Amino acid sequence: MSPAPGKSRPGDLFPDASDELVAGLAKMPDLLSKALPLRDKHRRALASGVRRLSTFLTVERDNLPPDYMNRPEYLSAYLHYFFPWNIYRQGRLLQGLDFSLKPDSTILDFGSGPLTFLQALWLTRPHMRKNSYKYIGFDRSDPGLKVGRKIFEGLAGTEGKSWKVHTERQLGDARKSAPADFIVAGNFINELNPARSAKDTEQTSEEILLQRWDALLKEDAAILVVEPGTRSSSKQLVRLREAALGKGWQVASPCTHASECAMPGSRSGSWCHFNFQPYDIPEWLFKFSRKVKLPKERASLSFLLLVRGKDCPVKIITPPTRDNSEGLVRVISETFDLPDFKQGRYGCGQKGLVLLQNDKTPHPGPQPGELLTVKWSAKSEKDPKSGAIIIPSTQ
Ligand SMILES: C[S@@+](CC[C@H](N)C(=O)[O-])C[C@H]1O[C@@H](n2cnc3c(N)ncnc32)[C@H](O)[C@@H]1O
């Protein structure tokens, strides 16, 4: 069962959207109409444009035009549907990650589109607004970058001047801003062409990507990659995680350990991603999503937060455990029914995949993304279907 609206639990990775986040999203139609006024003809074509772009971004990836953000039809579709949904998704994750970023940090956002991450960061980090940061959004499509800058100016007003916002079209220009503190990429790496980047080399495209990013970062640095909650994106993040661990990075979230991934999404197995209920989106987005026939009952994403160095610019607090008899488990799945009036949810801990099991209850219980402290037992049974270690009663 899912929690009632407005009932975030301590330790949630996706707490309810804050008032600031909801208010910022509520302002989007107005900000968009100022930043990119639509002719009647384009307004009428918006719904069909959103549906076409959605097909390209999901089931017909190979046909996605590389310059889609330059085409008025798809740019406006992106801005009215995917952009607010991504601010919402990234915003709820940013609230849950609850990290602070050192003042004067330089942030490089690759495939930034309309500066989605910047808007989400602004809306979810009121305490960072007075600090100075340098943010550079990189995207091959200039129109999206331009609209993104105007929207940020409208959203942040004069207060936003303490954040120095720049945009660049060439990813290679990131060298000019190196060494940076923090690299972010939202819904970007699934658009990179693996065949092109990994040609003539033994390295995976994720190893090559990480090598490029490494060269742009300080010794104390962080990387946040947020991707769709699909099997293929999650598998890409598993490869990026492996490459990062091999290069001395630590996974600050969502992993609770540095051992082999317990949910790598191989064959029919489950993959690491998180679903949460978007009951707190503003009314206009709810109605617009219904109008374009793409309503969402679940928001979904996969992500990886990597950190490196003693003085990492991103600080995350992890709950301590007492000794080896205890361990941290990240809840991954939603709740599902089990025989004998029980219910379960999959989680991931240092011993691998776990099945958190308890008697059926009307209470919502731990949600996807929540971090729990569990007791390991030498006598634990394994679930015959998934091979997960069964951990009884998490309530
Ligand atoms: C799905 S959008 C994501 C935008 C934004 N980060 C978000 O989360 O809403 C992907 C963006 O990556 C950009 N992109 C894809 N491949 C690129 C490349 N090789 N160089 C620069 N930008 C690229 C596209 O133009 C597009 O704006």
**Structure token pair of residue 39:** 């002719």
- Tell me, using a 6 A CB cutoff, whether residue 315 lines ligand 1: no
User: 146: domain CATH number?
Assistant: 3.40.50.150
Cβ–ligand 1 contact at 227 (below 6 Å): no
Q: Does 113 sit in the ligand 1 pocket, CB within 6 Å? A: yes
Q: Are residues 354 and 285 in the same domain?
A: no
At residue 42, the pLDDT reads 86
In a domain, 5, yes or no: no
pLDDT at 324: 77
334 and 309 both lie in a single domain: no
Q: How many domains does the chain have?
A: 2
Query: Which residue is listed with tokens 């550079």?
Result: 136
Ligand 1 contact via 119 beta carbon (within 6 Å): no
The answer to whether residues 56 and 80 belong to one domain is yes
CA of 362 to the centre of ligand 1 (A): 42
Kindly provide the residue ranges of all beta strands, DSSP E only, lying in the chain, ordered along the sequence: 100-101, 106-110, 133-138, 163-168, 180-186, 217-227, 250-253, 274-276, 299-308, 314-315, 326-331, 336-338, 342-349, 352-359, 371-375, 389-392
Q: Report which of 111, 118, 109, 110 is spatially closest to residue 90, judged by C-alpha positions.
A: 118
Last residue of a domain, one of 263, 288, 315: 315
Ligand 1 pocket, 187 CB below 6 A?
yes
Alpha-carbon distance of 305 to 93, in angstroms, equals: 11
pLDDT tens-digit profile, the chain (395 residues):
333 444 566 678 999 999 999 999 999 999 999 999 998 888 999 999 999 999 999 989 889 999 999 999 999 999 999 999 999 999 999 999 978 899 999 999 999 999 999 999 999 999 999 999 999 999 999 999 999 999 999 999 999 999 999 999 999 999 999 999 999 999 999 999 765 555 667 889 999 999 999 999 999 999 999 999 999 999 999 999 999 999 999 999 999 999 999 999 988 889 999 999 999 999 999 999 999 999 999 999 999 999 999 888 887 767 667 777 888 999 999 999 998 899 999 999 999 999 999 988 888 789 999 999 999 888 889 998 889 999 997 54
Q: Is residue 57 part of a domain?
A: yes
Let me know if residue 145 belongs to a domain: yes
Q: Give the number of the atom of ligand 1 that is nearest the alpha carbon of residue 87.
A: 9
- Domain that residue 367 falls in: 326-392
Residue at which a domain ends, from 315, 338, 358: 315
CA 10 to chain centre: 20
Same domain as 58, residue 28:
yes
**What pLDDT shows up at residue 380?**
86
Let me know whether 287 and 189 are in one domain. yes
Residue 8 inside a domain? The answer is no
Residue 144, ligand 1, Cβ within 6 A = yes
Residue 279 shares a structural domain with residue 311: yes
* Within a domain: 233: yes
Are 141 and 287 within one domain?
A: yes
In a domain, 10, yes or no: no
In a mutational test of the pocket of ligand 1, which residue from 70, 79, 140 has the highest number of ligand atoms less than 8 Å from its CB?
Answer: 140
Among 56, 89, 139, 303, name the best residue to mutate to test ligand 1's pocket (greatest count of ligand atoms within 8 A of Cβ). Answer: 139
Assess contact for 287 and 208: CB atoms under 8 A. no
Select from 263, 282, 315 the last residue of a domain. 315
Q: Are residues 242 and 350 in the same domain?
A: no
**Is 344 found in the same domain as 296?**
no
Q: Would you say residue 220 lies in a domain? A: yes
Same domain, 216 and 259: yes
What pLDDT, on the 0 to 100 scale, is given for residue 2?
A: 34
pLDDT of residue 200: 66
Residues 238 and 333 in one domain: no
For 49, counting Cβ atoms within 10 Å of its Cβ (0-12 exposed, 13-18 middle, 19+ buried), the class is: buried
Look at residue 171 and tell me if it is in a domain: yes
The torsion angles phi and psi of 35, rounded to 5 degrees, stand at -75, -30
- Is there an atom of ligand 1 within 6 Å of 226 CB? no
Q: Does 191 lie in the same domain as 104?
A: yes
